[in-house]
Amino acid sequence: MNVFSNCVQDDYFYLMSEAREKRILEVQSNRQRDLTVVLENVWDPHNISAVLRSCDAVGIQEVFILSTHSQKVSKLGKKSSAGAAKWLTIHHYFDLHECFEVLRNKYSRIYSTRLAEKVYSVYDIDLTQSVALVFGNEKDGVSPEAANLSDGNFSIPQIGMISSLNISVACAVTLYECYRQRSAKGLYAKNVESNL
């Protein structure tokens, strides 16, 4: 047995552990407790996974997965969610009203992505307030019932020939607008070590 190499190994693990603990504390200190994402009947595991990665990336801790058409818990993509999902708090709901009651108690505003007559641009909403953002599924978008229970609808401007951004792309663009607004307002701790 090589005692020296064991010592080095132990030190190495100790240092790793300390760095990891620091990293976890930093990430936790930047979690935005008053910001959440609700996925209504989103089925594609790859899309759910991509959304979870975006949530983790901008500091969202709690995610609501609402499945009103099935009593089965939505599957998460194995590959990409494995990392993100284990760091998030994921709530599964099967009843719309039950889910929205919880949202109402925890967040000041609920906004849905929906192409309705009265719809705001995502850039015109104050995303620094306490808010839950509802995204619908790939085919039908947010249901009329969920939209009716919300405080307003918003959309991402599209000025091209095609008007259909993927749900994971739409969600990421929205969440990074949250990040930009919140960052500008100093809502993230200054000691954060981002990957920049």
Query: Which amino acid makes up residue 161?
Result: M
Site string for its own copies, 92-131 (x = CB under 8 A): -----------------------x---xxx-x--------
Using rule CB under 8 A, residue 164 touches its own copies: yes
- The residue from 12, 84, 127, 190 that contacts its own copies (CB under 8 A) is 84
b or e along 42-51 (b: 16 or more beta carbons within 10 Å of the residue's beta carbon)? bebbebbbbb
Residue 106 burial (C-beta neighbours within 10 Å; 0-12, 13-18, 19+): middle
- The DSSP H or E segment spanning 89 is strand 89-93
- The residue from 96, 102, 169, 187 that contacts its own copies (CB under 8 A) is 169
Which residues of this chain interact with its own copies, rule CB under 8 A? 23-24, 27, 30, 50, 53-59, 80, 83-84, 87, 115, 119-121, 123, 155-166, 168-169, 172-173, 176-177, 179-180, 183, 188, 192, 194-196
